[in-house]
Amino acid sequence: MKKITRIAIFGALGKMGKILIKKIHKDLNFNITVAIIKKTDPRIGKDLGKILGIKNINIKTDCCLEKKIKNFDILIDFSNTSETMRNLFLCKKYKKKMIIGTTGFNEQEIQKIKESSKKIAIIFSANYSIGINLILNILEKITKTLVPHSDIEIMEFHHNKKIDAPSGTALMLGEKIANTMNWKLKDHSIYERNGKIGKRPIKKIGFSTIRGGDVIGEHTIIFASKGERVEISHKASNRTLFANGVLRALNWILRKNDGYYNMEDVLKI
């Protein structure tokens, strides 16, 4: 009999959580067995399927991941940095794989994720869109060709509920450019401009952040030089595209016992 992989969703009733559940529920390779929601949510203990308007799937929502630790194989976490770090500790302790989509980690937290990946398999990406990851793949070649003669700007636009800035995706794009140029991103970034800022410095990546409405996510990388400007843009029109990427990540991580991976690894670009 084929083994069905058990999935836990942390933040099951969040925007991404709902979409992930509906997507994964249709896949015969996986069973959603754990659905974690906020402690203050009155729907704790209710059937997940009924809440989401799909058939009764006999999974009751809960607020304690550790209590359900024996009931899943892989945790999907698109929550916040503090919750994800607590979940990381549990998954490392009990040898559970993780797919992390949370953004806003500091350097120390990212290092802890990398250290934990020596014990468990972790896919960590700021963006699970296939399109964004294709852009990451071509960005290295474009950077090598254009950066010596161009000013680099990264613009991002998200909904008014997003709490971190610049977005994790914008930083991921910036990191790709910086790594290609053998730069440290923190030493070559401009995050604020105000007042008489003077002439634009060279070898810098400028970040611009826009927040408003219900925009899911838009990113543009600009290489501006004398006589021409190259722009690469990606616009997300719905969150299903991220769920599609997570599903590919789930199937890929099944073959891994430990290690630190991203969506470029998953897509084998």
Structure tokens that stand for 254 in this block: 């099944």
The whole-angstrom separation of Cα 152 and Cα 205 is 5
CB 88 within 8 A of CB 80: no
Closest CA to 111 of 260, 264, 235: 260
Per the residue annotation, which of 158, 176, 219, 234 is the catalytic one? Answer: 158
What region, left, alpha or beta, does residue 107 occupy, with left being phi > 0 and alpha being psi -120 to 50 degrees?
Answer: alpha
CB burial of residue 205 (10 Å; 0-12, 13-18, 19+): buried
Q: Where are the beta strands (DSSP E) in the chain?
A: 5-10, 30-36, 61-62, 74-77, 97-100, 121-124, 151-158, 189-190, 205-211, 217-225, 228-236, 259-261
Annotated active-site residue 158? The verdict is yes
Rounded CA-CA distance 85/113 in Å is 8
Determine whether 159 is an active site residue.
no
Which helix (H) or strand (E) segment holds residue 112: the answer is: helix 107-116
CA diameter of the chain: 69
CB 79 within 8 A of CB 106: no
**Which residue in 15, 22, 38, 162 is the catalytic one?**
162
Residues serving a catalytic function are 158, 162
